[in-house]
Amino acid sequence: MSRLVPRTLRSQLTAGLVALLALACLAVGVTTVVALEGFLVRRLDQQLSASAGRFAVSLEHESRPDADNRPDTRGQSEGTFGARLLHGTPAQAAVVRDRTDAAVPLSAADRRALASLPTDGSGHGIRLSALGRYRVNAVAGDDRDVLITGLPLRPVEETVHQLMAVEAGVFGGALLVTGVLGALWVRLSLRPLRRVTTTAGRVAELPLASGEVAMPAPVPVADPRTEVGQVGTALNRMLGHVGNALERRHASEERLRHFAADASHELRTPVANVRGHAELALRHKGPVPGEVRRSLERIQAESERLSRLVDDLLLLARLDAGRALEHTSVDLTRLVLDAADDARAAGPQHRWLLDLPETAVSVTGDEHRLHQVVGNLLANARTHTPAGTTVTVRLTPDGRETRLAVVDDGPGVPEVVQRDVFGRFVRGDHSRSRSAGGTGLGLAIVEAVVTAHGGRVMMASRPGHTAFTVVLPAASIGSGAR
């Protein structure tokens, strides 16, 4: 049923126009039919009054000895009905057939209907079982009898039916033509609104969340005083505000990206100097107090951590800037084996499993960055799960794609963190135990590197099962590499 209800504004306007016209046609048709039927019935009443009951009077004279025993049908129209009632009971009833009279059989219902007619000389409608609907009047005759004269309503009904058929044809054609022309007119009138919806649809498909976005051209507004013109003007103003906001955001992101790259680049030298001086002091051959040695060791450890943080920030800044990666053939199987050996050495308290195909799996990309992706995923599983957790590395070639999955049976990622798990400086330390600190950039680097290779990374987590899946093009980077 809902499919029959018009949904678009164009169909609703067209349907409303046709419905209003149909109501108008119905009102005109009913009015004309009722008026014509009333007019024709009044004409019958006038004819009955003008006939002065001659046919019924001749029925009265038929019973007299001086009469010719034949009703007077002269001047009577075909189908004229006459009846004579004596003491409330029909004594004679005849109808004019071919300029002569013919007796009419009356049923008990006919007799009751004739007997109930008032003798006021006005027209009344009755139905006779042998003749159909009639318009009759009753007048008092001689000898206290009642004379009834009637004319058939069939000509009136036929005329009304013909009018109804003509009106149905005319109104039906008018509705059809109005529907077609109305649809074309509504379509033409709503053409500016269609341009507005097309522009809004193009804006909805734009990647507004990232990067520089080219906004579509403003919608041409013919007359801002119309409702459609007002909608177009409002849309153009909104597009202008959105475009300005995107430009300011893009400029701010560019400044922040340049600042991160410049700051990271500038910090590398002093961090390296601090680290070098700490190492040099620790290699001093003379006696070094224990507290001083511990301080130097902390300085060295923190400088190494700061150096890794600077390297990660510089890498993200370069990837954000669209720096091209290397395009070489990478043995992903060997890369996974090496990364798993490093993870096993760093986390002997975990159980490490490999699920690799029998043949080597190769992809096209930057070997160093892909190694960093696998290493970050394994380090994430090691540092955010308790000792004894089983971590499985699964490599699956699938036609045009290669899937690398790192699955652990740890406590899972908190739901409040899952949505932003690939964000920068995002941590889930409150619910996942860890033994070493992190910068919160590992998974952000994973996503940035995988995206730069034309792939994608996904995460599914629940208590007892967490899986990070990297999907890479199997043979080449294609247009997705940057």
Top-confidence residue, 464 or 9: 464
**What is the pLDDT averaged over residues 455-465?**
90
**Average pLDDT value for the chain:** 79
Task: Tell whether the model's pLDDT for residue 70 goes beyond 70.
Answer: no
- Our measurement of the distance from residue 77's CA atom to the centroid of its chain's CA atoms, rounded to an integer in Å, reads 69
Domain with CATH 1.10.287.130 in the chain: 205-323
Residue 350 is predicted with a pLDDT of 92
Q: Tell me, yes or no, if the pTM score tops 0.85.
A: no
Architecture of domain 328-480: 2-Layer Sandwich (3.30)
Angstrom distance (rounded) from CA 122 to CA 192: 65
Task: Tell whether the model's pLDDT for residue 66 goes beyond 50.
Answer: no
Evaluate the CA torsion angle 354, 359, 360, 361 in order and state its sign: negative
Q: Let me know: does 55 contact 97? Beta carbons within 8 Å.
A: no
CATH class of domain segment(s) 205-323: mainly alpha
**What is the pLDDT averaged over residues 339-361?**
90
Task: Tell whether the model's pLDDT for residue 365 goes beyond 50.
Answer: yes
**What is the pLDDT averaged over residues 60-78?**
57
Cβ neighbours, 10 Å, residue 58: 23
Residue 327 is predicted with a pLDDT of 82
Domain with CATH 3.30.565.10 in the chain: 328-480
Residue 4 is predicted with a pLDDT of 59
Task: Tell whether the model's pLDDT for residue 404 goes beyond 80.
Answer: yes
Task: Tell whether the model's pLDDT for residue 257 goes beyond 90.
Answer: no
Architecture of domain 52-152: 2-Layer Sandwich (3.30)
The secondary structure of residue 230, as a DSSP letter, is: H
Task: Tell whether the model's pLDDT for residue 385 goes beyond 80.
Answer: yes
Q: Please report, rounded to a whole number, the percentage of residues in the chain having pLDDT higher than 70.
A: 80
CA dihedral of residues 34, 37, 43, 48 (deg, nearest 10): -120
Residue 7 is predicted with a pLDDT of 66
Q: Please report, rounded to a whole number, the percentage of residues in the chain having pLDDT higher than 90.
A: 13
